[in-house]
Structure 1
Amino acid sequence: MPEISLFYGIRVTMYYNDHMPPHFHAEYNGHKALVDINNIQVIRGSLPNKQLRLILAWCTIHQDELMQNWELAKDMKPLNKINPLI
């Protein structure tokens, strides 16, 4: 499960050949969430409110890059790092 970004203690990863819909995994201090890339919403799990706001803002900014990584992951190709939220 490659790490594609890390910021404010939030680790963002994506699995190769994962299930639909296109999503990524966000983890913070033992909390885990799956975030739908197209709808920019949590589809499973949870994060504390502050980290949730940060990850959804980051997803909005990097939505195109996340979809590119999703396509790469489906093809089992190396994923690109995505800039952290600063």
Structure 2
Amino acid sequence: MIISLYWRDHNPPHIHFAYGIYECSISVLDRVVNGQAPAKVIAKVNEWIDLHESEILTL
């Protein structure tokens, strides 16, 4: 899984991730998923966001 943060990307704050053939973005604030990926992968990305949310929001 590759998680990407783009400096000065458009709002709302979000992260992009790729897993195999899947590419998605997830809003940090409301966790809306744009794209498709297995539910277990999305859950792992949400756990990662939980751990790093304050850092993500200060970028």
CA deviations 1:7-38 (Å, max 9, x no partner) are: xxx11002232111111101100201111111
Higher relative contact order (CA 8 A, sep 6+): 1
Instruction: Tell me which of 4, 19, 22 is aligned to 1:13.
Output: 4
Does residue 1:56 correspond to 2:50, yes or no? no
Question: 2-side partners of 1:27 and 1:11: how far apart?
Answer: 5
Does residue 1:38 correspond to 2:38, yes or no? no
* Structure 1 runs not aligned, ≥5 long: 1-9, 72-86
TM-score of the superposition, structure 2-length normalised?
A: 0.83
* Structure 2 runs not aligned, ≥5 long: none
Flag as ranges the 4+ runs of structure 1 deviating above 2 A.
none
- Say which one has the larger Rg: 1
Instruction: Tell me which of 7, 10, 15 is aligned to 1:24.
Output: 15
CA deviations 1:40-65 (Å, max 9, x no partner) are: 331x1121111111111211221111
| Contact 1:40–1:59, Cα closer than 8 Å, also in 2 | no
RMSD: 1.3
Question: 2-side partners of 1:13 and 1:27: how far apart?
Answer: 8
User: Matched residue of 1:62: which SS?
Assistant: helix
